Amino acid sequence: MKKEVIFDQITERIVASLEKGVVPWRQPWGFVEPAQNYFTGHIYSGVNSLLMLMDNYETPYFATLNQINKAGGRVKKGSKASLIVFNKYLYYDLKGNKISEDLVKTMHPSTYEKRYYLKYDYVFNISMTTGIEIKKQSTRQWDKKASIYECDYFIDHLENAPTIQCKLSDYAVYNKAYDVITMPLLEQFFSTEHYYATLFHELIHSTGHKDRLNRESLTDSKKFGDEKYSFEELVAEIGSCFLCNAFGIDTAPVQENAEAYIKGWVKRLREDTSMIVEASKLAKRGYQFLTEQVQTPHFFLPLTV
């Protein structure tokens, strides 16, 4: 299957979900374990975990048909597989001859070429199988006060973050020139969850600063409405949802606002089918840049989307 066809399939699923009012990168039901391969423990991330969430799986464990058969299991008749994509790299010398990864480790980067390929596979949720023991998984027991406390603790303990100033205002914004987030006062928001969801959005923007991840969609965007600006907004929205999921503040009002916000990208997603894959990847990097700085006092959920 060609890369363009894969992107088309992924985008159509994302767009179809958004058009139904469902944000596919949210996980309100709450497994503690992220979506992962049952046998290897490999955790799906980026667009793969988005695809897992869209299937509303019964357990967070998946495997390929080959892995299931080798383990003595069978896939139940009528079960539907989930598409996953992954990068594969091949190496060539300057004459165009393929070389092994072990040999590459002994070579100078200027003496070989690294070529990227997009590959795909299909996996089944283990709940769709027979003959394989389904692992018991933990579930979140969210306490709203504890979740808000963890959000507050997280913000206070970020080591590499912009200045955050709160004042009476009718907008929230990240100023990349001064590396400052301006937020309305907490009491101006409909709920504390609204406040943190908005602040998370601006924090993801800040990870693109030239002295952090140096994300082109932030550093090179010129004005509201240009292509890089629109793409950066999608990165920030997905990254904010990652953080909301992790802290358990994915409340209905926040979700409704996010759904309305995301619908504006449906046209863009159809025009550029690689957009959702790239935005998910960059949002994950922003999420990880922030969460790797802080160990919350209770727990911190690994990236599940």
Q: How far apart are CA 24 and CA 3, in angstroms?
A: 22
Q: Is the pLDDT of residue 67 over 50?
A: yes
Residues 217-233 have pLDDT tens digits of 999 887 655 678 778 98
Q: Is residue 109 within 8 Å of 151, Cβ to Cβ? A: no
The least confident of 141-150, 167-176, 189-198 is 141-150
Can you tell me whether residue 182 is helix, strand or coil?
Answer: strand
Q: Is the pLDDT of residue 257 over 60?
A: no
Q: Say what the pTM is.
A: 0.70
Q: What is the pLDDT of residue 296?
A: 59
Q: Is the pLDDT of residue 301 over 70?
A: no
Q: What value does the mean pLDDT take over residues 273-282?
A: 86
Q: What is the pLDDT of residue 29?
A: 46
Q: Is residue 222 within 8 Å of 228, Cβ to Cβ? A: yes
Of residues 55 and 287, more confidently modeled: 287
Residues 6+ apart with CB under 8 A from 183: 164, 165, 166, 167, 169, 172, 195, 198, 199, 202
Of residues 143 and 70, more confidently modeled: 70
- What band does 305 get if pLDDT is binned at 50, 70 and 90? very low
Among candidate residues 136, 124, 96, the one with its CA nearest the CA of residue 112: 96
Q: What is the pLDDT of residue 69?
A: 97
Of residues 2 and 36, more confidently modeled: 36
Task: Please provide the average confidence, as pLDDT, over all residues in the chain.
Answer: 82
Q: What value does the mean pLDDT take over residues 162-178?
A: 94
Q: Give me the percent of the chain exceeding a pLDDT of 90.
A: 34
Q: Is residue 202 within 8 Å of 209, Cβ to Cβ? A: no
Residues 88-118 have pLDDT tens digits of 778 999 888 999 989 988 999 889 898 877 7
- What band does 302 get if pLDDT is binned at 50, 70 and 90? very low
Q: What is the pLDDT of residue 190?
A: 83
Listed in order, strand segments (DSSP E) in 38-187 are 61-63, 74-75, 82-93, 98-99, 112-125, 129-130, 163-166, 173-175, 180-183
Task: Report the relative pairing of strands 98-99 and 82-93 from DSSP bridges.
Answer: antiparallel
Q: Is the pLDDT of residue 252 over 80?
A: no
Q: What is the pLDDT of residue 263?
A: 63
Residues 124-169 have pLDDT tens digits of 999 999 999 887 665 555 566 777 888 899 999 999 999 999 999 8
Where do the domains of the chain lie? Answer: 3-130, 144-291
- What band does 63 get if pLDDT is binned at 50, 70 and 90? very high
Q: What is the pLDDT of residue 140?
A: 53
Task: Report the relative pairing of strands 173-175 and 98-99 from DSSP bridges.
Answer: unpaired
Q: What value does the mean pLDDT take over residues 165-179?
A: 93
Q: What is the pLDDT of residue 127?
A: 92
Please state, in angstroms and as integers, the Cα–Cα distance from residue 2 to each residue in 7, 118, 151, following that order: 9, 8, 42
Q: Is residue 171 within 8 Å of 184, Cβ to Cβ? A: yes
Q: What is the pLDDT of residue 304?
A: 38
State phi, psi for 183 to the nearest 5 degrees. Answer: -120, 145
Q: What value does the mean pLDDT take over residues 35-41?
A: 90
Q: How far apart are CA 61 and CA 126, in angstroms?
A: 6
Among candidate residues 56, 54, 65, the one with its CA nearest the CA of residue 17: 54
Residue written as token pair 């959005």: 201
Q: How far apart are CA 175 and CA 162, in angstroms?
A: 9
